[in-house]
Structure 1
Amino acid sequence: MAFKHGILTVGITGGIGAGKTTVCKIFEEFGAKVIYADELAKELMENDESLKKKIKKIFGVESYIGGKLNRKFIADIIFSSDEKRKLLESIVHPAVIKRILSDLKKIAGEGKYSFVIVEAALIFESGFDKELDYVLVVDADDEIKIKRIIERDKCSREEVLKRMRAQLDSKIKRELADMVIINDGDIDELRKKVSFFYSLFEKISKSSGGN
């Protein structure tokens, strides 16, 4: 197969609490290159003046404190209002996608990696799956996900459920995915699953050679 960006690209996504970031960190341990869309979004929302202006227009001057994004203020609004959440996504997604495509071109040109992982919560929602060769979805039992988020973010069950409801249903994500990792076990079990996919992506990359 011909890779879309001259290098094998694999998107990793999943609902809140599923463990997609943990999966990506393990891929990094094995030597993979990972682009974190959420980190790029935060960077752009704090450093891109055009984006900052648009966010202030939607959410008000309270959306920034001393030039830094007021994350809790924004989160409280977008998890309570579908309209405001979609508005934010409509201005942030294009900027993030543009940056990721630029980074992919650069990485492919350097020739240091056989494949690239792109971690993003909204791969399907933003339509970015069309830019990737494969999408791997990380999922877990709902109660396990809820417990993880309560422990991690020190929030209430209702707050977690509100955030989960704001995301695309995990069953739909699994149906849209090319591959799935179920992360219901311990870290050693997860590492074995990631190791399998790391080897698989290496083989796909080498056997195709980008052609």
Structure 2
Amino acid sequence: MKVGITGGIGAGKSAVCKYVEVLGYPVYYADDRAKEIIVAHQTVRARIIALLGQEAYTSEGYNRAWVSRQVFSSPEKLAKLNSIVHPAVKEDFSLWASAQTAPIIFKEAAIMLEQSAAERNVDVVVAVMAPRAERLIRIQQRDPQRSASEIQKIIDRQMPEAQMTALADVIINNGDHDALIPQINDLIAHLSKSVGKLI
């Protein structure tokens, strides 16, 4: 069974995934792999240069800050960039998944519910939620170089929580006063039962 873990910035996707790994389940970190693919995958690299220009890469590698400025002011360019990167990540995930032997595997990605079911390539989608004010504080602590207004803009660009709640199969609440680990344990127990029925 392939389980997707998603959620807005600062909600706590990584915290959920780290605990899942402690329990012995493999996790594919789609956003991290995307960064590696953008640098190492020659076809992806060539298509990004064709879309945005040579400035997309420097002698030091992918020019992330410059690319971000180009695409976030242009929804059309952002969509085209995603259409280059997402299929490559999907293929990479499929290869990774085929090599796993665990009965349940996980895929962490910030963008998941925005995609079609085929693009997600998972059986269940779990959305991690936390209050906006708490997320803002967490991000500021983690990335002190980012201003509050910059973080707010990032949050505003992401899928609204109400929409995420409506589309996800499972919700995990990760506010400061929520007990995270019992929720994950319950999730694993439920998934394990579902896998047992499929076998």
Q: Which residue of 2 aligns with 1:118?
A: 107
Distance 1:143 1:44, change over 3 A: same
- Is 1:170 paired with 2:164? no
Aligned residue in 2 for 1:144: 134
Offset from partner CA, 1:43-65 (integer Å, 9 cap, x none): 11011111111112223222222
Q: Aligned partners of 1:196, 1:76: CA distance in 2, in Å? A: 41
Q: 1:80 to 1:161 in 2, by over 3 A?
A: farther
Higher mean displacement: 75-84 or 53-62: 75-84
Aligned partner of 2:48 in structure 1 is 55
Residues 10, 117 of structure 1: 8 Å contact kept: yes
Aligned partner of 1:121: which letter?
Answer: A
Q: d(CA) in 1 for partners of 2:59 and 2:107?
A: 30
**Partner in structure 2 of residue 192 of structure 1:** 182
Partners of 1:58 and 1:152 in 2: CA distance? 32
CA 47–128 in structure 1, closer or farther in 2 if over 3 Å, else same: farther
Give the 3-state SS of the residue equivalent to 1:96 in structure 2.
helix
Distance 1:48 1:17 in 2: 29
Between 1:86-95 and 1:124-133, the stretch displaced more is: 124-133
Measure the CA separation in 1 of the matches of 2:3 and 2:112: 11
CA distance in 2, matches of 1:114, 1:94: 25
Secondary structure at the counterpart of residue 113 of structure 2: helix
**What percent of counterpart residues are identical?**
34
Paired letter, 2:194: I
Whole-Å separation in 2 of the counterparts to 1:128 and 1:39:
21
Please list, as runs of the form range in 1=range in 2, the aligned pairs for 1:13-32 lying within 5 A after superposition. Answer: 13-32=6-25
Cα RMSD after superposing both structures: 1.9
1:98 paired residue number: 91
**Alignment size in residue pairs:** 197
Q: Secondary structure at the match of 1:191?
A: helix
The AA in structure 2 aligned to 1:177 is A
Cα distance between partner residues in 1 of 2:48 and 2:190: 41
Tell me which residue corresponds to 1:4.
none
- The CA distance in 2 between the partners of 1:202 and 1:127, in whole Å, is 25
For CA contacts below 8 A with separation 6 or more, give which structure has more relative contact order: 1
Q: TM-score, normalized by length of structure 1?
A: 0.85
- Residue pairs, 1:71-82, within 5 angstroms: 71-82=64-75
Please give the secondary structure, in 2, of the residue aligned with 1:180.
strand
- State the shift of 1:24 in Å: 0.7
Q: Deviations over 1:71-108 (max 9, x none)?
A: 2222333333322221211111111111112222232x
Cross-structure match for 1:153: 143
Whole-Å separation in 1 of the counterparts to 2:184 and 2:192: 12
Amino acid corresponding to residue 115 of structure 1 in structure 2: I
The 2-side partners of 1:198 and 1:74 are apart by 38
Paired residues of 1:114 and 1:206 also in contact (CA < 8 A)? no
Give the secondary structure class of the aligned counterpart of 1:124.
coil
Alignment-derived partner of residue 5 in structure 1: none
* Structure 2 residues not aligned, in runs of 5+: none
CA contact (8 A) 2:134 2:176 kept: no
